Amino acid sequence: MNKLYGRDILRFFVLILVQVLVLDHINLYGFANPGLYIYFILLLPFEIPGFLLLLLAFLIGFGVDSFSNSIGLHTFATVLIAYLRPWVIRLAGPPAEYEGNLKPGIADMGFRWFFAYSMVLVVAHQLVLYTFESLRLAEIGIILLKTITGSILTLALIIVVEYLFMRKR
């Protein structure tokens, strides 16, 4: 359990840095920008206590916010999907209890499970993020376009990273 959290902490810092130093400069066609850092929330162990899940979401959102001077924005969106996560897991079908020590990833849960689970949370995150970022009804077209393109890019990146770092069990 403790070893598991060790890797999560490392992932926390690496993902913030990758997000703010590299991915924030990606801007395909002026719209698509990946928000890979929520991969951290997706991969947290199933049995993580609720309060810890929310606090970690708050911290990673705050981290990304401090680097782009957008205090509160990413924090809000990330805490929201952390709150949705247990519900989405229940919906996608939680892991069988007796198997134990499973992690929410392709290796343990299969591609279809992981894809559906990630898609719901990624789309929710992007939609909330761009809505609160703009807060203008007139920009609803751009908000939706950014949500769709950003979600596709984020999901594609998550799947690539997931396969790159997949470990043999």
Partner 1 sequence: MRHIFAFIWKHNFFFLFLVLEVVSLIFIANRSFYHRSVLSNVTDRFTGGVFTTWSGVTSYFSLKQENIRLANENARLQRILTKSEITSDTASFIVADTLYNQQYHYTVAKVIGNSTSRRDNYIMLNKGRKHGIQPDMAVISPDGVVGTVVSVSENFSWAMSMLNKHSRISARLGRINQMGTVVWDGGNPSVGTLQDIPAHVKVLPGDTITSSGFSYIFPEGIMVGTVEEIYIEEGAHFYTIYFRFSADMNSLRNVYLIKNLFREEQTELSKNVIDE
- For partner 1, the closer CB: 39 or 74: 74
The answer to the question of residue 3 lying near partner 1 (CB under 8 A) is: no
Cα–chain-centroid distance for residue 24?
15
Q: How far is the CB of 68 from partner 1 (least distance, A)?
A: 5
Pick the binder of partner 1 from 14, 26, 140, 144 (CB under 8 A): 26
Burial class (CB in 10 A: 0-12, 13-18, 19+), 87: exposed
Hey, how many other C-beta atoms are within 10 angstroms of the C-beta on 144?
Answer: 13
- For partner 1, the closer CB: 113 or 134: 134
Hey, how many other C-beta atoms are within 10 angstroms of the C-beta on 46?
Answer: 16
The answer to the question of residue 46 lying near partner 1 (CB under 8 A) is: no
Q: Which has the closest alpha carbon to 67: 15, 27, 28, 31?
A: 15
> How far apart are the C-alpha atoms of 166 and 144, rounded to whole Å?
32
The answer to the question of residue 10 lying near partner 1 (CB under 8 A) is: no
Binding residues vs partner 1 (CB under 8 A): 17, 20-21, 24-27, 29-31, 33, 50-51, 54-55, 57-58, 61, 65-73, 75-76, 79-80, 82-83, 86, 130, 132-134, 136, 139, 142
